[in-house]
Amino acid sequence: MTTEKKEMEVVKGLDLERYMGRWYEIASFPSRFQPKNGADTRATYTLNPDGTVKVLNETWDGGKRGFIQGSAFKTDPKSDEAKFKVRFYVPPFLPIIPVTGDYWVLYIDPEYQHAVIGQPSRSYLWILSRTAHVEEETYKQLVEKAVEQGYDVSKLHKTAQSDTPPESDAAPDDTKGIWWLKSIFGK
């Protein structure tokens, strides 16, 4: 299911305060920056006083919590387009190398409950929800939004989510960054 590649359209006038909070990853393109067997993957966004956003990405693999913290900021502060840059320092266990990527909000529903996130090369795609599970019809509609943006959704992989998602302090942290090292080698 692909469409002819056209210029991506991003959300205009995103209410950043409403966008803050926890989002669960419902599906994504596999990425070497996430463990292959990661489950209960989620992102938590917190607005900083300077208008930037604190980003906390978490996933669980083998009962351990892998996480990375970073920041996001508007690509063009004067634009009303929801185009952001995210910056993380890697590896997570010794954060010294800055890695910056695009984070474009391609779709958000009026209630700010579901979102489709991508970037200009169409190499990354995330379907996010405020809840850990979505109805199949809602999922199909979100996938269709990605198709409309020119994504090859055959690469989309649903993320395993528990009925009761874990809390951050309920599992030991992967303090050695093993998941990150394994992901570099495609494990």
Write out the H or E segment, with its range, that includes residue 97.
Answer: strand 97-108
- C-alpha distances in angstroms, 90 versus 53, 64, 168? 18, 19, 20
Confidence of residue 56 (pLDDT cuts 50, 70, 90): very high
Can you read off the two tokens belonging to residue 129?
Answer: 């929800």
pLDDT digits (tens, 9 = 90+) for 71-130: 999 999 999 999 999 998 877 677 788 889 999 999 999 999 999 999 999 999 999 999
- pLDDT of res. 4: 52
Quick check: 174 pLDDT over 70? no
129-152 pLDDT tens trace: 999 999 999 999 999 999 999 999
- What band does 187 get if pLDDT is binned at 50, 70 and 90? very low
Query: What was the pLDDT predicted at 110?
Result: 98
Q: What is the pLDDT of residue 165?
A: 72
Give the C-alpha separation, 31 to 39, whole Å.
14
Question: What domains are there in the chain, each with its CATH number?
Answer: 15-158 (2.40.128.20)
How far is Cα of residue 121 from the mean position of the Cα atoms in its chain? Answer: 16
Averaged pLDDT score across all residues of the chain: 87
**CA atoms of 185 and 136, how far apart (whole Å):** 33
